[in-house]
Amino acid sequence: MKKSLLALAVLGAFAGAASAQSSLTVFGIVDLSVNNVKNGSVSQKFMGSNQLNSNRLGFRGTEDLGGGMTASFWLEGGMSNDDGNAGGLTFTRRSTVSLSGGFGEVRLGRDYVNTFSNIASFDAYGANGFGSNINLYLGLGPTLTATSPAALGVMTHAANTIVRANNMVGYFLPGNLGGFYGSAQIAAGEGAANNKYTGFRAGYAAGPVDIGAAMSQTTVAGADKYKVFNVGASYNLGVAKLMASYDQRKLGAKKYTTYQFSTSVPLGQGEFRASYAKGNAEGAGTGANDASLLGFEYIYNLSKRTALYTQYGRLANKGTSAIALGGVIATGATGFTSTGYGAGVRHIF
């Protein structure tokens, strides 16, 4: 009897230890705002998601394999809170499995590409909202293809790897290299055009300074390659964080360059953000189809997880450029000014 009790105690202790070595987390963000966008003389009011942070529902977990090695997974899907659509609960934001240790991390699956991670890291808006640099190269919407007549969209939407890539193998340096960081990624096209991706990122972050650069190449339909290079830097003064970035995208004879200067200023329980960005299209008949963007945002934190925010953005198009804030497209119009403002609430869980 004593032996049986001892065996059960040992088994219980072992199960408890095994359980302690693993973890599972459910997490997410719910962000919703009321907005108004005016393109030229046409106004549209809408309730929008993702204006402060991108909405998501996710599951992540880790297991300690011993010897300093860890296995982990990350499944994350987007949500559209204004209509309750969770995209069929597909994990298109991220779907990865990883092995990590003293050697760094090897990550497999669908994930952010290096060139997007780098440019978003040096944007005070973090790739969300009316003031984010992302408006200049994603503002025309996902329906544009390599044959679209819109000068900016011809190049910007030629690849399916602007933000994320499928079928990707990534390697990330360990975090104990004295501030140096870096990663390399390769994604198989699996017979589909516009999906085969190779990208690299390297940087240094220590104290108030962070500087990083990234480059990538995607095989698209035809002989041309879609190439991206960007570099960014930030400096934290304490009273404000200053950021700057430069991004260039090439497809054949076409070239689209953007640069951005942005800042975030802590104000008690709040934060003020401001940004100025400009996009310049060149080559193959793009002409003076440029755009400039000015944005302001104020965030008030009710708690560590809940915040109220308000924002304003003004995007001025030139020539046949037709970028609109908030994904609201003025069909058939070009060279217009797009202005947007709104207010919302974000909760993190």
Distances (CA, A) of 9 to 1, 6, 15, 162: 12, 5, 10, 54
- What pLDDT does residue 332 have? 63
Q: Is the pLDDT of residue 15 over 80?
A: no
Sequence spans of domains, the chain = 29-348
- Write the single-letter amino acid at 103: F
DSSP-derived pairing of the beta strands 164-172 and 180-187:
antiparallel
Is the pLDDT assigned to residue 3 strictly greater than 70? no
pTM of the model: 0.87
Q: Which residue has the tokens 């919703």?
A: 32
- Number of Cβ within 10 Å of residue 110's Cβ equals 19
The fraction of the chain above a pLDDT of 70, given in percent, is: 84
How far, in Å, CA of 16 to CA of 314, rounded? Answer: 57
Question: What does the alpha-carbon distance between residue 275 and residue 293 come to, in Å, rounded to a whole number?
Answer: 8
Q: Phi and psi of 118, rounded to 5°?
A: -70, -50
* pLDDT one-digit tens code per residue, 318-327: 887 788 887 6
> Which token pair is 329?
């497209």
Q: Among 28-37, 238-247, 327-336, where is mean pLDDT lowest?
A: 327-336
pLDDT tier, 154 (very low <50, low <70, confident <90, very high otherwise): very low
- Could you tell me what percent of the chain has a pLDDT over 90? 63
| DSSP state, residue 185 | E
Sign, CA torsion 306/111/225/145: negative
Residue 181 contacts residue 175 (beta carbons within 8 Å): yes
In terms of Cα–Cα distance, which of 62, 61, 56 is closest to 76? Answer: 56
- CB count within 10 Å of CB 38 equals 20
Spell out the residues 6+ positions from residue 271 whose beta carbon is closer than 8 angstroms to its own: 264, 265, 298, 299, 301
Q: Say yes or no: domain 29-348 is CATH 2.40.160.10.
A: yes
CA distance 132 to 115: 16
Return the pLDDT at 118. 98
